[in-house]
Amino acid sequence: MAKYVYEGPVTSMTGDSIKEWFDDFRAGKLSAHLKSEPIPENEGPLTILVGKNFESIVKDETKDVLVKFYAPWCGHCKKLAPIWDELAELVKDMPDLVIAKFDATANEVKGLSIKGYPMLKFYPKDNKTGVDFEGGRELDDFVQYLKENSSAYISTGAEHSEEL
């Protein structure tokens, strides 16, 4: 459901300016408006995604990215939060593996459809369309999944196996 914003001040709207806006809309000259929080300064192992930085981080073909799409009010999301933080801490020294979270109530990305909360999606280096994560929700389940599916984890996991 795309939304388009009239960029001019509402107080100066005229019939001509509205007609011009509709003409631009019909001609495909307008960009859809997507919600986004400001880009945060990531301090720590867990990457915070927002609408404005999603593409640059998730679609980076040099990184495997595991994302939790959540709603702050969701009970299942709250239960998963400390496990997600711990997973990020465990793999923080793997430079090509990103553990991230995305508040889907405050941010939007074109083409992304959230089916429920939390929605977990893995974006490996070689498939930036993403793969739904269907496994268990415990720390060991995530680590095992990364051991089997993340080339970034596989290439550096042996060095960090004593920590994991």
What is the H or E stretch that residue 48 is in?
strand 47-49
Is residue 115 located within the same domain as residue 59?
yes
What does 105-151 look like in DSSP terms, one character per residue? TT---TT----SSSEEEEE-TT-TT-EE--S-SSHHHHHHHHHHH-H
7 CB-near residues (< 8 Å, 6+ apart): none
Is residue 25 located within the same domain as residue 100?
no
pLDDT digits (tens, 9 = 90+) for 56-106: 999 999 999 999 999 999 999 999 999 999 999 999 999 999 999 999 999
Is residue 87 located within the same domain as residue 135?
yes
How large is the angle between the packed helices 139-149 and 151-160, nearest 10 degrees? 110
Is residue 109 located within the same domain as residue 131?
yes
Is residue 132 located within the same domain as residue 91?
yes
Is residue 26 located within the same domain as residue 53?
no
Residue 113 domain-assigned (yes or no): yes
Residue 38 domain-assigned (yes or no): no
CA distance 86 to 54: 22
Show the domain range for 134.
47-160
Residue 42 domain-assigned (yes or no): no
Model pLDDT, residue 66: 98
When divided into structural domains, the chain yields a total of 2
Residue 39 domain-assigned (yes or no): no
Record the pTM: 0.82
Burial class (CB in 10 A: 0-12, 13-18, 19+), 15: exposed
Average pLDDT over residues 136-163: 83
Is residue 85 located within the same domain as residue 51?
yes
Model pLDDT, residue 162: 47
pLDDT digits (tens, 9 = 90+) for 26-60: 888 877 767 888 888 877 899 999 999 999 999 99
CA distance 78 to 66: 17
**Taking the mean position of all CA atoms in its chain, how far away is CA 5?**
23
Model pLDDT, residue 1: 62
CA distance 83 to 133: 15
Is residue 68 located within the same domain as residue 123?
yes
